[in-house]
A = this chain, B = another copy of it.
Amino acid sequence: MSPWKAARVGDPLSAVDTPALVLDLDAFERNLQRLATAVAGTKVRLRPHAKSHKCPEIARRQVALGAVGICCQKVGEAAVFVEAGIADVLVTNEVVGDAKLRQLAALARRARIGVLADHPQQVQALAAAAKAQDASLDVYVEVDVGANRCGVPPGEPAAQLARQIASSAGLRFAGLQCYHGPAQHMRTPQSRADAIAGACEAVRASVRACEAAGLRVERVTGAGTGSFVNELASGVFDELQAGSYVFMDRDYGDNQLGAGDIAFEHALFVRAMVMSRPTADRAVVDAGLKASSVDSGMPTVWQRPELRYAKASDEHGVIATPSQEALALGDAVLLVPGHCDPTVNLYDELICFRGDTVEAVWPIAARGALL
């Protein structure tokens, strides 16, 4: 880390050192409320994904607005959130390796902990880890509902693994994890609806197979920011795992919204400054790919459509400018990151502003929690 801080509470936004990760609290709070409102009065619970924000202050606000708990992707993240007082954490991932299994079981003695499985060996290892610490783990069968990543095939394979879980001491068969990642980034509402319709067929086949095996499927969990309106309306999902909705990013902003979609606002930005202005058509800012992850493409320049962030190197961002007057040395811009999750993971603190003033600085406590 730099040995000085980018900002302190009470600073004007214009004084925040760059590059810094800044959060527009008004937009963020509206985003939080929009999703909470969407699920209110339905049978569907909200368990937001904390891999997006890695920030206990945000998790607490999500729980205060009705979320049942959070999702994490890593045991190390779960440990940070349990330490911060979150009582119900689902690790939406398979967990392999002795050290991590020990940590997971230890967490399950302090909070309700869920985890996924898609292989019999994982279930055996989870059971052994739970037994060693006299802990109890909620285990979900991950079903491949179209993402082609992890998960057992739908139907009978899901039921077989569920049976193994249900018959393992220390483990509880908690339901099915049915997340369709690629659907989140399909650009048209129809393509997302089609993908989730396919996922729902896979869910139904899996639920039927479990029921035929005498197992009740207590919960079907999944969905993300791009597609959740479809899972919410499906009648087969019980829990939503959207995470990026709190921040939004350029990539999610590229999705076309349908009549049923909810428009979330860009709330997360990288504040950057022009440090070099070599030509009339090129300005260079101090935020490159170590400041705004480019895995999903370049950031955009907030409310400056005439400026195009054209190229990122490690510590430089080249902005194409229409004229010399468009941007001056020392000018600040707000960048909308291409992908919020890995961008947040580059920072230790989130500088929260309201209007023109820094209102809070929140630690990104699970930054770098890779294990």
Q: Which residues, 305 to 346 on A, are CB-close (under 8 Å) to B?
A: 312-316, 318, 329-330, 341-342, 345-346
- A253 CB-CB contact with B under 8 Å: no
- A42 CB-CB contact with B under 8 Å: no
- Residues from chain B with a CB closer than 8 A to the CB of A142 are 276
How many chain A residues sit at the interface, stated as a range, is: 35 or more
Contact of A17 among B51, B97, B329 (CB under 8 A): B97
Tell me how many chains of this kind the complex includes: 2
- A64 CB-CB contact with B under 8 Å: no
- A347 CB-CB contact with B under 8 Å: yes
Is there contact, CB below 8 Å, between A367 and B1?
A: yes
- A155 CB-CB contact with B under 8 Å: no
Contact of A368 among B18, B74, B96, B347 (CB under 8 A): B347
Given the known A-B contacts A151-B278, A181-B313, are A122 and B79 also in contact in the complex, defined by CB atoms under 8 Å?
no
Residue of B at shortest CB range from A345? B290
Contact of A96 among B1, B144, B275 (CB under 8 A): B275
Residues of A within 8 A of B (CB): 1-4, 6, 17-20, 51, 73-77, 79-80, 83, 93-97, 99-100, 103, 118-119, 121-122, 142, 144, 148-152, 181, 273-278, 282, 284, 286, 289-291, 293-295, 312-316, 318, 329-330, 341-342, 345-348, 367-371
Per CB-CB distance, the 3 closest pairs between chain A and chain B, nearest first, are A2-B76, A150-B276, A2-B371
Q: List 22 A-B contacts (CB under 8 A).
A: A1-B76, A2-B74, A2-B369, A2-B370, A2-B371, A3-B80, A3-B83, A4-B103, A17-B97, A17-B100, A51-B315, A94-B284, A96-B273, A97-B330, A119-B276, A149-B284, A149-B316, A149-B318, A295-B295, A346-B346, A346-B368, A348-B368
